[in-house]
Amino acid sequence: MVTIIASLAILAMTALAGAGLVWYKSQLAQQAAAQEAPPEVSEAVAIASPEKLTYRPLVSVVGTVVAPEWIALKAEVSGKVAAVHMKSGDVVEKDQLLLELDTSVEMPSLHSTQAKKRMAESNAKRLRQAFAGQAVTESELEQTESELAYAIAETERLEALINRKKLRSPFNARVGLIHLSLGQYLTEGIEITTLQGINDYTFIDFSIPQMAAHQVEIGQTAGVLVQNQQMQGTVIAKDARSDKATRNLQFRVRIDNPPKSISPNDSVKVNLEYGSQTAAMSIPVESLRRSPTGTQVFVAVRDPKGVLRATMRSIETGQTVGNKIVVLQGLEENDLVVARGSFKLREGIAIRDIGTSTSDEKTTDSTSGNTDAGSESAS
């Protein structure tokens, strides 16, 4: 009996303790409900409105360095190498003798024809005097004149053949790599080396889409980036027709006093403006967020309670001018764009504008006040 009473007492105490715990938790819940919710934490960002600017469309392509003068030096006739007057990398002058082939067969024939020519000249001179005195007939004089013409022609033929075995530089040039040995037999048309002209200018060839090509004018300036050095060139020519496969049109730019370190077939970057001045909106480059789905920016929008919140907006961009990028679609003039700090935002998060730093303001003022200069530097 005592055991039963003790058990009932324990159960009563346990129930009483549970009821007290429930009452305590309900009191805490009521107190928590009565308290105000903690304020929402907002992210600090810099907000700016799109700015207007004027610029010219710009196309950037890869160009190829082309030597103004260049040839592949080849053997015009077959023959054995008799003398080599050049080395790889030599700088040679115009008409300088570079290579001689063996002429031991042609020289005796030339000497023979030269002797016949002198004899024919002497006979012709004598018969002209005799014909003046009517000592010989006209047919005899004509025969002598024919013999002289034949001797002259044969002499000139052999001299030309010998000269074809003496290769000379057609212009001031730098010799490419050569692999020749005395006595080596060269067949007709075999390439010996290359000659790159030495000039105080060079050409850059490049192709651009036909949409831009029709607005490029001969004589206009183009920017050329040569080994991290910005240079100015002049458009001097364009191809007569577009490429059949790409529909691009090829242009040629001339650069004066190019760096000596560049060589033909090197790649360079060409920036070329085209068309007329275009008005557009721009935003800071650092405000862009790029993803596999495209280009976006965060726009500041006030909710019904007046709180600024970040909303992602997809946009279409154009070229970069200074530290600004042109916006083609997706923004209005009165939109507020998160210009700095967008990397830490997500959709719908509360934000607060801490303004633009002094350095940013200076950059913005400089860019907006010198749009044309920025466009030139980009090109």
Please state the domain extents for the chain: 43-55+278-378, 60-68+199-273, 77-101+167-196, 103-164
Which of 25-29, 66-70, 98-102 has the lowest average pLDDT?
25-29
pLDDT above 80 for 1: no
pLDDT above 90 for 102: yes
Domain 43-55+278-378 coded CATH 2.40.420.20: yes
**CATH number for the domain running over 103-164:** 1.10.287
Q: What percent of the chain has pLDDT over 70?
A: 91
Confirm whether 43-55+278-378 and 60-68+199-273 share one CATH topology.
no
Q: Which fold has domain 60-68+199-273?
A: Elongation Factor Tu (Ef-tu); domain 3 (2.40.30)
Task: Say how far apart CA 379 and CA 57 lie, in whole Å.
Answer: 10
* pLDDT at residue 97 in the model: 95
* pLDDT at residue 363 in the model: 37
Domain 77-101+167-196 coded CATH 3.40.50.300: no
* pLDDT at residue 3 in the model: 72
Task: Say how far apart CA 274 and CA 250 lie, in whole Å.
Answer: 15
Q: What is the average pLDDT across 306-318?
A: 90
- Within 10 angstroms of residue 148's Cβ, the number of other Cβ atoms is 20
Which of 207-211, 274-278, 289-293, 364-368 has the lowest average pLDDT?
364-368
* pLDDT at residue 379 in the model: 31
